[in-house]
A and B are shown apart, each in its own frame.
Chain A
């Protein structure tokens, strides 16, 4: 029984890590321009696909292993491979995020909120269907960045992939915390999310700050995309839809606009979802996130870490 619980907890945490990574992007964007970026799930998909093509097409691992055989199979080589793949995917996704912001959301910053939301849905649809058109709708097997190994802890099986997912997520969240709280750009981000006009008056380039927020959020989603696709074993153009939706729920659960909240919400959602499917209700696992959203909105709409903020006119 105990093994069962630990096992489900491990599985839940590794799923929740991915949700947390995506939720970070939602929360940051919402925090700064109060827009649900529906295209965020598609950025996640772009990240997963970039990783797929980079690993299959360029394959740093094979290249280095071919030139210096001594390195083959060593930890360093795997680390280089993983870091470069993640970095490339994150960079590509960041570029996409900035482009989307520039052309689809920026012109609508002062338009009615409905218009921006519908544009976001349009962008999401556009990316999905461009994906189907250019990459094909059929799912494809995802390359593994690491050799599969597993360890036993208290009778529960822990794969190295799960450890990798958790460590990567924690590192990225720490990095994000550092960026937001210790750097100049982070300070501008916090200022702009509090009051854009005041921030502008203080000499902050609000447009650049928003673009930067999109870049970071998209990079996080791309990392999440690679981790998710590795765990899931396959990738297709519609892969971002469900995780994107659930990550939004995670962001609301933790308190939208609050970065640690996204991490907590993601983990909680992951564990809940895995627990529900462990009890044999895997059919309704997708409905769980939705039920949680409704419950949060009924009980505490500001989320776990949220404070009640009065709306000003």
Chain B
């Protein structure tokens, strides 16, 4: 029945996410969950937002973007400016509710990131080919250098003293919102246009799809949510620092998308959760961890160019399929050998 009224359905999902995360938050506040664990699970939700938004660009539209950290930096820094200066001194934090201030900050961070995405996307996405990759790579580096040299936000020392506003409730609810928005975008006619561009750009253009428009739209939406995730990150750590948003972060997000499968939203979510957990575990092995990540990326691309799951979503039927495949595995091997004997190959 709910499928008839999608808005109500999604509102219910959101309320569900909010209630669930509030319960967890209560456990955190009561001290049943350590603050370290709380931080890790909040970071997982932030990674989910970043990975899902990159998946829209990379997996659904098939455009190669490796500057996600740059958009996260923009969202993080600009939202931090808003909250730390209390909207440039326009509001009094003693009376003005933090929630609204944070929402304004998130929106402004996201919108500025989206605008940056528009600036890069417009010239580069007009063209076919791989210009976006280099442009976003350059963008990510240059944004970092600009923040490093911008004294207003602390330069190399970082922008510290940002109020802690990201809680698990915020991160989880916003992650749910991101997934709902992007999932709906993918299933809309826009999303189908994006998929057609991924499959064959020339064919899509021939069918009358304005490829530039859809590519830029997807890229801007991706940048917006990347900005939001950056804003959440900064308000969790209470610090915006240029070294947080290096190329390595972009690669980590890229790996989440690749690991989960290009075009698989649930895959991205699972991979974001898993990789955040893994990163946390191996935090002390900086270079080794990155060596492992890059090897993983190369190997996945060599053997499964569409990512581990491809564009499949994680679902009960997929799990059932996987289980039955596993169960059939011995049979299949047996069959192969028996076939060989039938053909006379196995018997010498």
Which residues of chain B are near A132, meaning CB under 8 Å? 286-287, 290
Cβ–Cβ contact A248 & B294, under 8 A: no
CB of B134 within 8 Å of the partner chain: yes
- Chain B, 264-295, contact with A by CB distance < 8 Å: what is the 0/1 string? 00000000000000000000001110110111
Which residues of chain A are near B290, meaning CB under 8 Å? 125, 128-129, 132
Tier of interface size on chain A: 35 or more
Cβ–Cβ contact A294 & B291, under 8 A: no
Which residues of chain B are near A115, meaning CB under 8 Å? 301, 305-306
Identify 28 residue pairs between A and B in the complex whose beta-carbon atoms are under 8 Å apart, listed by A's number. A108-B301, A112-B306, A114-B62, A115-B306, A118-B64, A121-B66, A121-B297, A122-B294, A124-B294, A125-B248, A125-B251, A125-B293, A130-B291, A132-B290, A133-B287, A133-B291, A241-B141, A241-B247, A245-B134, A245-B137, A252-B131, A293-B131, A293-B138, A298-B123, A301-B126, A301-B131, A311-B128, A313-B202
Cβ–Cβ contact A121 & B251, under 8 A: yes
Cβ–Cβ contact B130 & A118, under 8 A: no
CB of B175 within 8 Å of the partner chain: no
Given contacts A118-B258, A311-B202, contact A290 B297 (CB under 8 A): no
Cβ–Cβ contact B127 & A297, under 8 A: yes
Ranked nearest first, the 10 interchain pairs of A and B with the lowest CB-CB distance are A115-B305, A125-B294, A122-B297, A126-B294, A122-B298, A129-B290, A133-B287, A297-B123, A119-B301, A290-B138
Secondary structure of the B contact surface, majority rule: helix
Cα distance, A130 to B286, chains bound together (Å): 11
CB of A283 within 8 Å of the partner chain: yes
Q: Which of B23-31, B142-150, B185-193 binds A?
A: B142-150
Of the residues B62, B127, B145, contact of A301 by C-beta under 8 Å: B127
CB distance from A284 to the nearest CB of B (A): 8
Interface residues of B, count at CB 8 A: 46
Cβ–Cβ contact A123 & B145, under 8 A: no
Which residues of chain A are near B127, meaning CB under 8 Å? 297, 301
Which residues of chain A are near B126, meaning CB under 8 Å? 297, 301
Which residues of chain B are near A104, meaning CB under 8 Å? 298, 302
Cα distance, A115 to B126, chains bound together (Å): 21
Cα distance, A107 to B300, chains bound together (Å): 12
Cβ–Cβ contact A119 & B297, under 8 A: yes
CB of A72 within 8 Å of the partner chain: no
